[in-house]
Chains A and B, each alone.
Chain A
């Protein structure tokens, strides 16, 4: 058996998603009164449309990956944590942590930590500039949202 190409892998994943979607569409409760179109029709149409499109995708020759030529080839030679993919993964984890810590720590503190932490991690070494810009932007945003636009942002451990 020949190896599957990128489009074929994607098509298989999408076909699985479509199958699961169709299965779920069949479980949508029906409305007690008879209607020409119930809540389940549109999802069913969408599910089958995705299934058919994944079949088309399976037979479409793949184009070169969009990012492949621009991803820095030298970067993986550095320490593991500074490879491009590691940077993405660390950022995803940091943003998830930010989401979970936003309420307990408060907007100002959590945002400062995320912004300064990631900037240093990405390799910018002028810490005073980082601190000054981050503090200015975060405080500016905080004051604008809370004082000018009356949008509540969590205060967390800080008193304001």
Chain B
């Protein structure tokens, strides 16, 4: 019962009073940030990085896990109450959640979201606990060529699943890698693209880019959309209680959604969005009352909620075992880990078991907090949505600025942040997805290093990427992930 012992060890870390306080603070802050329209888990995590900077890695990651869960749940809250999903992962929740809110059953929808998230999260943590050690054993045998191929796959998967243009997704990824290699080349000491500025010698911090492209760009975008919040007065939230028959009704969708969500989350690029949509459409097909989906069916809230939370946990698998994030959000998490001095990867389980098992245990605790504390607090937390937009936008600006300055103490970085904010707005207006850029930014350096190390070992022979079966198959899957959507599109047009 190795896993059980390790989990107990993890609990002993996560249950330290200070770490419990961090989980609580993380879940709470994440819920509030995730609830604000436009600000999703990526912004929430990026805003938290400066706070975790000075923490013990295990505590920092515990806080981050709480923020992540909280932000996803917060996103569901605004989906249900306002029909304004902050993130794509909670769009499916709004299909039935908002109609329920319009019928005066917002409380019930929120309660179902909380229960389903709790169960989805908890079930998937069990899977994570079982799958992650196995996968990291396989990953130990990975050399630089395999890593390079794996990262290429991670990038192409995220690009191929972005709902916008494939070409624009690839352009965003290339620009992300370009940004990542600014500074001194660690292998040769050569300066690259620093334009003679000493501020750029250390490269561009990913926090500057993440906050600029996501949070700041979101503020600009909201300003462009104009007006104050236009939605009318909301109905009362109503009771949070579920009847016994309702519990029985959602039990199936929640358990199916949890399993489906986890495995979708493990796949690079898929994540919460696909997981929740798959969960929703599967239930719609299975349910006898499938035709009432979209009109406020409780199963239509339960399934995507369980699936998106399970997928969030699933997405930790590639991050923690391979050190390769499969989504924009886990890319930001990877960045946060690197800032804290932790290198996730196959060796993490052995070298930093405190971090790994601490996080697993804190996920359990985070889920419990999400349920026990957030549920009764929902009516109060929902008041945040009444905050005037003008004030909110100004405060988000301050959070972004202090986040960057508190970490680098550099005015240059603040101006750079502004530049990335403008770039993010442009990308948003012209339909360039931001997730590939941020993932490429995080992976760019490691990708180049793996490529060069592989070529160093092979004496410059490029066939090394094709000769190795794992690397070859990963590259083939990467190529397929890009070409298949194109072929499908062509067929649909024909």
Chain A residues with CB under 8 Å of chain B are: 6, 10, 14, 21, 24, 28-29, 31, 35-39, 42-43, 46, 49-50, 53-54, 56-57, 60, 63, 65-67, 70-72, 74-75, 84-85, 87-88, 91-92, 95-96, 98-100, 102-103, 107, 111, 114-116, 118-119, 122-124, 126, 129-130, 133-134, 137-138, 141, 145, 149-153
Contacts and interface: CB of A to CB of B under 8 A. Distances in A.
26 contacts: A14-B171, A28-B192, A29-B191, A39-B185, A39-B187, A39-B190, A42-B451, A43-B192, A43-B193, A46-B177, A46-B178, A49-B174, A50-B178, A53-B170, A53-B171, A66-B431, A67-B225, A67-B428, A88-B223, A88-B224, A115-B391, A119-B388, A122-B394, A129-B391, A145-B402, A151-B54
A102 B397 CA distance: 14
B171 A38 contact: no
Interface in B178-203: 178, 181, 185, 187-188, 190-193
Nearest to B457: A36
B51 interface: yes
Nearest to A149: B54
Contacts of A36: 452, 455-456, 458-460
B50 interface: yes
Nearest to B426: A10
Contacts of B291: none
B405 A10 contact: no
B190 A114 contact: no
Interface centre among B170, B224, B228, B452 (most CB of A within 10 A): B224
Given A53-B174, A65-B429, A118-B397, A84 B54 contact: no
A-side binding surface: helix, strand, loop or mixed?
Answer: helix
Contacts of B219: 91
B174 A60 contact: no
Nearest to A51: B174
Contacts of B168: 57
Contacts of B178: 21, 43, 46, 50
A122 B190 contact: no
A31 B181 contact: no
B380 interface: no
A10 B456 contact: no
B406 A153 contact: yes
The 3 closest A-B pairs by CB, nearest first: A72-B226, A36-B460, A122-B390
Given A57-B168, A91-B397, A141-B398, A29 B226 contact: no
B179 to A, nearest CB: 10
Contacts of A150: 54
B17 interface: no
B21 interface: no
A84 B425 CA distance: 13
B448 A42 contact: yes
Contacts of B220: 88, 91-92
Contacts of B228: 123
Contacts of B181: 42-43, 46
Contacts of A65: 429-431
Contacts of B227: 72, 75
Contacts of B422: 92
Contacts of A49: 170, 174
Contact of A138 (B390, B398, B421, B430): B398
Contacts of A10: 430
A123 B415 CA distance: 26
Given A60-B165, A149-B51, A29 B406 contact: no
A66 B402 contact: no
B140 interface: no
B414 A99 contact: yes
Given A37-B456, A88-B223, A95-B421, 5 more contacts: A39-B188, A39-B192, A107-B405, A115-B398, A149-B51
A112 B154 CA distance: 42
A31 B406 contact: no
Interface in B452-471: 452, 455-456, 458-460
Contacts of B394: 114-116, 118-119, 122, 134
A124 B223 contact: no
A87 B192 contact: no
A126 to B, nearest CB: 8
A99 B269 CA distance: 36
B306 to A, nearest CB: 31
Interface in B202-232: 216, 219-221, 223-228
B390 A124 contact: yes
Contacts of B430: 6, 10, 65-66
A21 to B, nearest CB: 7
B400 to A, nearest CB: 9
B395 interface: yes
B130 interface: no
B413 to A, nearest CB: 9
A36 to B, nearest CB: 3
A100 B175 CA distance: 28
A21 B388 CA distance: 44
B411 interface: yes
B411 A103 contact: yes
